[in-house]
């Protein structure tokens, strides 16, 4: 599960309240891999998505219009004030 979700071994060791070296030793004894390039890639992708979502959320909170909706396509919703 750690590799599939890109969880750092240090975080798992902390959760289990054991030293990182002991956790890694246990993984080694069970012939389990503690890291994966695919998991690292997934973490980086997820972090990038979350960063973009956070930026967009701040833009919305600041009242900035959606750049995609403000184009000439007319796809954005117009809000009229009275």
Task: Average pLDDT across each block of 10 residues of the chain; the chain has 82 residues. List them in order.
Answer: 75 89 89 64 78 90 77 51 49
Predicted pLDDT of residue 6:
73
Predicted pLDDT of residue 32:
81
| DSSP3 helix / strand / coil % (the chain, rounded to 5) | 55, 0, 45
| Crossing angle of helices 20-29 and 9-16, rounded to 10° | 100
Phi, psi at 54, each rounded to 5°: -65, -45
Phi, psi at 75, each rounded to 5°: -80, -15
What is the Cα 47 distance to its own chain's centre? 3
Predicted pLDDT of residue 46:
80
Residues 40, 33 contacting (CB under 8 angstroms): no
């Amino acid at each position: 599960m750690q590799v599939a979700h890109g969880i750092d071994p240090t975080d798992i060791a902390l959760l289990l309240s054991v030293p990182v070296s002991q956790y890694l030793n246990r993984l080694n004894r069970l012939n389990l891999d503690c890291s994966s390039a695919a998991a690292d890639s997934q973490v980086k992708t997820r972090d990038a998505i979350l960063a973009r979502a956070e930026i967009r959320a701040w833009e919305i909170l600041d009242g900035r219009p959606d750049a995609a909706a403000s184009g000439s396509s007319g796809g954005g919703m117009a809000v009229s004030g009275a």
